[in-house]
Amino acid sequence: MMWTRRSLLFGGLVSVGAVALQKPVVAAAPSYFAGTSTDNGVAFRSTNFAKIEKKWHRQVVKYFSDEPIGTVVVDTTHHFLYLIMENKTAIRYGVGVGREGFKWYGRATIDRKALWPRWTPPPEMRNRHPELPESVDGGSPSNPLGPRAMYLLRDGVDTGYRFHGTLEPGSIGRDASSGCIRMFNEDAIDLYQRCPIGTAVQVLPHIADQAQNAAQARQPLSAE
């Protein structure tokens, strides 16, 4: 059989097509990390905010609330955490909250803070996931608390819930945790610096709609 240039070219294209059919192209997942940062001598992966929807970025917004300045208010429905500031403003952070069956609401205070905290999964979590380790050292790349943890207590009793960083930036804006409030690692560091021991916390099903209605009732201000 005589092989011509045309037949060779055609045969090559057929081979390439066959390979393409055998190995379909899968779109790559967005890269939620970009480079590394160092905090208190510990290196960690930096959040790639270029891949994060802008509404989840930390920002100052107009916000009306009867809570005192310095209070942290969590809107679990809309996945926002607000740190109330002066002049009817707040710093708004995108957060991940408890998935169905793990949500909680109420008041608490930040009565303990930890830098690069050690993670010890509670017994009930280990019962659900026996493959979990007994603990993970602070600063470990597999520690789900990230660089900071703020422990929420009620009347001096640990609620078991925390504000903390995350290994999964893509979970911000979702119901994803076992009740704790997840934040981008950079945001957890920022909030940690702004909230002293004793900071009041209120976790609600939703408050963004109420805040918007209050703002409209007072004056026509933009939410951002």
Selecting among 78, 164, 195, 206, the annotated active-site residue is 164
| Residue 180 among the catalytic residues | yes
Do residues 205 and 78 touch, judged by C-beta distance below 8 A? no
DSSP string, 30-97: P--EEEEEEETTEEEEEE-GGGS-GGGS-EEEE---SSPTT-EEEETTTTEEEEE-STTEEEEEEEEE
Selecting among 57, 79, 129, 180, the annotated active-site residue is 180
Alpha-carbon distance of 97 to 85, in angstroms, equals 23
Pairing, β 157-164 against β 148-154: antiparallel
| Residue 195 among the catalytic residues | no
Do residues 118 and 138 touch, judged by C-beta distance below 8 A? yes
Q: Which residues are annotated as catalytic?
A: 164, 180
